[in-house]
Structure 1
Amino acid sequence: MPKDQNASLSVSRRDVVFNGKIWDVVSETFDYQGQKLVREFVAHPGAVAVIALNEQQEILLIKQYRHPVREYLWEVPAGLLDMPGESRLEAAKRELLEETGYIANDWQELIEFHTTPGGNDETISIFLAKDLRLQGHDFELEGEEVDLEVRWVPLADALSSVMQSQMRSPSAGYGIMALAHQLGVSIND
């Protein structure tokens, strides 16, 4: 079975080309098989996403505006690893509560992936959350989160939407396909 491998190449120079609010653009010079190569990429703090599953095999989706693609996307709750000292699991719990008002008693790691390994170093860890309860929250959402729509959707329907390119969020796609595989769920026609 193919398996990605870590590599420790010597980086001789690293410059921040652009310092952003959430991520930076960096330029690195590194040695690769006797050559000095220069690559620019987005240096990202990483993120987490949550597939929240209820007893009816429905998953919790959110619809959120994403400006770079000028679309409202159906996604799973997700967010940045931007709180110092916070574990990936703690970040996933925080994001589920912040974006949906739900908390979960049962958590497990589902899958992890690199979003765009040729252009950034972001890795997203997706967690499965079960045994959910609506708690609500007492803070106001900001920016593109102010009009989030939250909806329970049958897992088979969400899988069908991903496979027909109707739902194109990579976190949702990866997480939905991983969970469907784990549970033996197939596409509804």
Structure 2
Amino acid sequence: MDEYKRLKRELMYHGVLVDFYQDTMRIPGGHEVKWDLISHKGAAAVVAVKDDGTLFMVRQYRNPLGRMTLEIPAGGLDSREEPPIACAKRELEEETGYKAGKIEHLIDIFTTVAFCDEKISIYVATDLIPSKQNLDEDEFINVESYKIEDLIQMIYDGKIQDSKTVSGLMTYYHKYCCK
């Protein structure tokens, strides 16, 4: 690591969700290079397990892909200091209309390590308690339920490609369903 040194970090753009930086780095051999960094305050996601064993999923439009996607409930931290578990609980209720009676950490992932520092903490929520869906004004979400085996098949068929969803579902499946 001593061979890599950040010489300068310049904020190129401050956005609503992300900040874009350009780093000047000294790399092995003494060369200086420019590297891009997208900085994100982080997020949390939830594998929400209903009493019948099916999982809540959310279907929503994703602008970068230009299409609807099927994902586990998730959302961004309000600040870098917010505990991810608090975000996970909030997003579960906001998106599905259910509170977690029990929630436990499943896995942490970094979404795109080559140019982004976004970390998503993924949780498993059980003993779900009906509450009220509370979507943001720009959110339009359909809540659906699926068996884990069907979701795993959708991953293999390329119908689910979102990294947090694939990571969360596969980890849940191997930790809780393949004993």
Q: Secondary structure at the match of 1:93?
A: helix
1:166 maps to amino acid: K
Deviation at 1:56, TM superposition (A): 2.2
- Among residues 166, 179, 182, which one is paired with 2:175 in the alignment? 182
CA contact (8 A) 2:41 2:79 kept: no
Aligned length: 177
2:162 maps to amino acid: S
2:88 maps to amino acid: A
Deviation at 1:35, TM superposition (A): 3.0
Query: What stretches of structure 1 of length at least 5 have no aligned partner?
Result: 1-6
Residue 74 (str. 1) matches residue 67 (str. 2): no
Aligned match of 2:9: 14
Q: Percent identity, aligned pairs only? A: 30
1:164 maps to amino acid: D
How far apart, in 2, do the equivalents of 1:129 and 1:91 lie? 13
Deviation at 1:30, TM superposition (A): 2.3
Q: Secondary structure at the match of 1:26?
A: strand
Aligned match of 1:89: 85
Aligned match of 1:53: 49
2:157 maps to amino acid: Q
- Among residues 98, 108, 117, which one is paired with 2:113 in the alignment? 117
Deviation at 1:84, TM superposition (A): 6.0
With the length of structure 2 as denominator, give the TM-score of the two structures. Answer: 0.91
Aligned match of 1:62: 58
Q: CA RMSD in A?
A: 1.9
How far apart, in 2, do the equivalents of 1:19 and 1:131 lie? 40
2:107 maps to amino acid: I
How far apart, in 1, do the equivalents of 2:103 and 2:26 lie? 41
Structural mapping, 1:87-166, within 5 Å = 87-137=83-133, 139=134, 141-143=136-138, 145=139, 147-166=140-159
Deviation at 1:183, TM superposition (A): 2.1
With the length of structure 1 as denominator, give the TM-score of the two structures. Answer: 0.86
- Among residues 159, 163, 174, which one is paired with 1:170 in the alignment? 163
How far apart, in 2, do the equivalents of 1:65 and 1:38 lie? 34
CA contact (8 A) 2:57 2:72 kept: yes
How far apart, in 1, do the equivalents of 2:135 and 2:63 lie? 21
Structure 1 runs of 4+ aligned residues shifted over 4 Å read none
Deviation at 1:18, TM superposition (A): 1.3
